[in-house]
Structure 1
Amino acid sequence: MRNSLKILTCSFLLTSSLVYPCTGISLKTKDGSLVQGRTIEYGEGNLNGKIVISPKGREFNSITPDGKTNGLKWKAKYGFVGATVVVDQFIGEGINEKGLNAGLFYFPHYGSLAKYQTKDAKTSLADMELVNWILSNFETVDQVKKEIKKIKIVNIAHDEKGDPLPTAHWRVGDAKGNNIVIEITNNGEVNIYDNKVGVISNSPDYPWHVKNLNNYINLHTGNAEPFEYNGQKIFSFGAGTGALGLPGDVTPPSRFVRAFFYVNSVGVQSNTKLAVSKTFHILNNFDIPIEVEFPEKHRAHIPADVMSATQWTAVSDLTNREFYYKTMYNSQIRKIDLKNIDFSNVKLQVLPMDEKNEENIQEIVVK
C-alpha cells in the first residue's frame, strides 16, 4: 500500500502544476430538470481518463501531504459513476445514484486552501478527492453547502519551494435544479455561489466572470438591424451579426462569455433528451485543437497520443441519472444509465473510456 501511495503521489506531483482549461455549462428544461456538461483540456500529456463505477458502502480514506492515507475517512452512502483525471483515484466529473453531479475545474492564482496541519489529518481531505466525497455522501446541493465547512480541504502536493500547487474550484448540481460553484480562497475561506448564469470556466473567480459579462451587453442572437447613413445603406453580410464582438479565443474569460452567450441563445429546453443533445453541440465550440497550446518552436513536444487538447467531454442528466461522454479519440457519444446499476452489489470497477483509441467511423455502403 505504501509503495502504491508513493507512486500515486509522485504522479500527482509531476502533473498537478499543469494547466487544465475546462468549460462547464448547464441547461434547464421546462419542468425544471437540470443537465450539466463540461470539457476538460490538457495538451502536455495524456490525462489517462477512465470511467469509474463506485459502489454504495465503499470505504474511502483520503491521502494527505504526509504521503499517507491518513486523511478523512468515510463510507459511501451512495454509488456513483465518474470520469478520472491523472490517476484512478481522482474523479474529475461524475454523477451519483440520487442525481447529484459534481466536477472540478482548474483555478490557478485564486484558489487558496487551508494550510495542512498533521494534527488535523483525520478531518483533512485532498482537493483532488473532493468530488469523490461529494458524490458518495450527498443527494442535494443544500447538504453539500452544510457539510463542506466541517472539513479541511488541503493541497495534496507542493513545489520544490514548499509552496502549494494550484488547486481547483468546483461545480455541484442536484436533481432539484440547484446549481452552485464552490471556491476556496484566502487560506481556506469557503465561498459558495448560486450559479445563476449556468456557466463555469477557470480563473479568475466566479463573481469576476459574472461582472465581466456586463462588457458584452450588446451581444444578441440573430442579425443587427440595417440602417442608412447619409444615403449609404449599411447591412449584414450574413447571419450572426448580433454576435459581433463575441470573443473567440480560448482564455477562461473568453470561454465564459462565449458559453454564456450560447447557453442563453438556446434557452430552456422541452425535455432532458434534447438538453443533452444541445449541451454536446454547445460544447463542440470549446473543443480545442492541441496545436493551439503550443507555439511553433515547441511543436515537436506535442504528445503523439493526444489527439486534442480537449481530452474528454461529459454530460450528466440529473433527473434521469444518466452519464454521457465522448473522448478525443472517439466522438461517438456513450451513455451509462445509473438506474440500471445495483450500487449495493456492484463491485468497484475502473473501465477504459475507449475500447480502441480510434474514431468510430461508419461507412455508408452505396448499392
Structure 2
Amino acid sequence: MCTAATYLTDHFFFGRNLDYERGFGERVTVTPRSFPLPMRHLNEVTQHYAMIGMASVQAGYPLYYDAVNEKGLCIAGLNFVSSAVYRPCPAEGRGVAQFELIPWLLGSCAGVDEACRLLEGVCITDDAFLPGLPPAKLHWLLADRRRCVVIEQTADGLHIYDDPAGVLTNEPPFPLQMFQLNNYAQLSARPPENRFSPALPLRAYSRGMGAMGLPGDLSSQSRFVRTAFTRLNSASGTGVAEGASQLFHILGAAAQQRGCCVLEDGACELTLYTSCCDADTGVYYYTTYDSGHVSAVDMHREELDGAALISYPLDDVWQVRLQN
C-alpha cells in the first residue's frame, strides 16, 4: 500500500511513501535525454526529456515507481490490485504497456495538460516486461504545479480524474476515495466550540479536538483522508528546506511502522522509503525506513544529454550527528 501527495509553496513538491514488505533493489535513477526508450506498440523514443526518480533497473531498463522530469512533471504509481484492468493492444488505436507509461509520459510531456492529450485513445496493455514479471496493477498520480490528476484503467476503460485533494492512496477507485471526504467535512484544525458548556472551552481539555474523528488506521481510505486533511491544513514558509520538510511530515502522517500491518505469510508491510521531488530544481530527496536522515540526488549535476542510465544505491544506513 502507498500514499502520494503534492505540496505547493514557492516551489512545487511531489512525493510518496512506498509501503511494501520487501524492496526490489530500487535505486535513485536518472534517465538522460538520449537513453533509448523502446516501446512494445509504438515507435521507439530516442530523444526525450530527462527524468529522475526511484526505479528498479531490470535488463538495463528503468522500471520507475515515481519520477519527475526536467520540466517539472511528476508521477507516481500506486498499487490498485482489485480494480486495475489491462488489455491486449487493440487492433486499432494505441497501446502502451504498463511499465512504459511513466517514462513515456515524462519523456514526452512538459505538463499535465499535454499528458492528458497524449493519453487520448490509449489503452494500457497487459504486456509482461519479462517472462515471469507480469505488469503490476497500478493507478497513477500525475501532477505539475498547476494541475493534478489521477490515471486509472478499470473494466470500463481508461479514466483521467482531476484531483483537487492532491492525494492518492490505493483502493477503492479514485471517485470513491474523494466521495468519502464528505464524511469528514466537519473536521477542522481549529478548536470546536463547546455548545453544551460554553464556560469550559474544549481547548482547556485538549488541543487538537477540531480533528476528532480523523481516522488513524493504516487502511487505504483512512490514509487518503488523513493525508488530505494534513495537506489541506499544512502551513509552510518559503524555501526548499521548509517546503520539503513539510511534505515529509505530511507523508509521515500516513507512514507504516514495522509490525503494525502483518500479512498472511507473517511478513510485515512498512514504509520502505519516502520521496520528495523538488520539481522546480530537479532534486530528488528521500528517506528510508532505517536511515533516519534525508539524502538527495540532483538531476542537473549529471550529463543529461547522455545515453546511459545513472543510478545511485539507496543510503540506508542509520546515522546520528553527535552534538557533544
TM-score by length of 1: 0.78
The aligned amino acid for 2:68 is: I
Shift of 1:290: 2.6
Counterparts of 2:194 and 2:91, CA distance in 1:
68
User: Are 1:329 and 1:359, in contact at CA under 8 Å, matched by a contact in 2?
Assistant: yes
Select the residue among 166, 173, 193 that pairs with 2:143.
Answer: 173
CA contact (8 A) 1:109 1:166 kept: no
- 1:286 paired residue number: 254
The one-letter code sitting in structure 2 at the alignment partner of 1:24 is: A
Q: Secondary structure at the match of 1:213?
A: helix
Match of 2:305 in 1: 344
1:228 Cα deviation after fit: 4.0
- 1:54 aligns with 31
Instruction: Determine the structure 2 residue equivalent to 1:363.
Output: 322
User: Within the alignment, does 1:34 sit opposite 2:34 as a pair?
Assistant: no
Offset of residue 85 of structure 1: 4.5
1:24 matched to 2:4 = yes
Q: Which digits, 9 at most, give the CA deviation of each residue in 1:52-83, with x for residues without a partner?
A: 111101111246xxxxxx77622241111110
Q: 2:158 aligns with which of 190, 195, 209?
A: 190
Q: CA deviation at 1:266?
A: 1.0
Aligned-partner SS, 1:257: helix
Matched, 1:200 2:168: yes
Shift of 1:100: 1.4
Deviation at 1:126, TM superposition (A): 2.1
- SS at the partner of 1:263? helix
Q: CA deviation at 1:232?
A: 9.0
> In 2, are the aligned partners of 1:53 and 1:82 still within 8 Å (CA)?
yes
1:141 aligns with 2:102: no
The match for 1:108 among 58, 78, 81 is 81
Q: C-alpha separation between the residues in 2 aligned to 1:269 and 1:362?
A: 26
- Distance in 2 of aligned mates of 1:178 and 1:109: 27
Structure with greater helix percent = 1
- Match of 1:169, SS state, is strand
195-204 or 78-87: bigger deviation: 78-87
Q: 1:41, 1:182 → 2: CA distance? A: 20
Deviations 1:17-48 (A, max 9, x none): xxxx111111122x5x42111101001x2232
Kept in 2, the 8 Å contact 1:172–1:180? The answer is: yes
Distance 1:205 1:72 in 2: 31
How large is the RMSD of aligned CA atoms in angstroms? 2.8
What is the deviation of 1:362?
2.0
**Cα distance, 1:135 vs structure 2:** 1.7
Q: Helix, strand or coil for the counterpart of 1:274?
A: helix
Matched, 1:235 2:235: no
Alignment-derived partner of residue 225 in structure 2: 257
Q: What is the rounded CA distance, in whole Å, between the counterparts of 1:220 and 1:320 in structure 2?
A: 33
* Separation in structure 2 between the aligned mates of residue 35 and residue 209 of structure 1, nearest angstrom: 22
How is 1:71-110 mapped onto 2 (pairs within 5 angstroms)? Answer: 73-85=44-56, 87=58, 89-110=62-83
The verdict on how the C-alpha distance between 1:130 and 1:209 changes in structure 2, with shifts beyond 3 A counting, is same
State the SS of the aligned residue for 2:18: strand
Aligned residue type for 1:99: G
User: How has the CA–CA distance of structure 1 residues 350 and 166 changed in structure 2, closer, same or farther, with 3 Å as cutoff?
Assistant: closer
- Give the 3 Å change call, closer, same or farther, for CA 126–331 of structure 1 in structure 2: farther
Shift of 1:278: 0.4
Alignment length (residue pairs): 317
Residue 190 to residue 118, structure 1, CA distance change in 2 (3 Å): closer
1:104: Cα distance to partner?
A: 0.6
Counterparts of 2:202 and 2:30 in 1: how far apart (Å)? 55
Contact 2:226 2:254 (8 Å CA) reproduced: no
TM-superposed CA distance for 1:275, in Å, is 1.7
Q: Which amino acid aligns with 2:289?
A: M
**Do the aligned residues in 2 keep the contact of 1:22 with 1:40 (CA within 8 Å)?**
yes
Out of 178, 188, 191, the position equivalent to 1:210 is 178
Deviating runs (4+, > 4 A) in structure 1?
A: 85-88, 117-120, 231-234
Amino acid at match of 2:3: T
- Looking at structure 1, the residues matched to 220 and 237 of structure 2 have their Cα atoms a distance apart, in angstroms, of 26
> What residue ranges of structure 1 are gaps of 5+ in the alignment?
1-20, 64-69, 159-163, 303-307
Q: Secondary structure at the match of 1:214?
A: helix
1:331, CA displacement in angstroms? 2.7
Percent identity among equivalent residues? Answer: 24
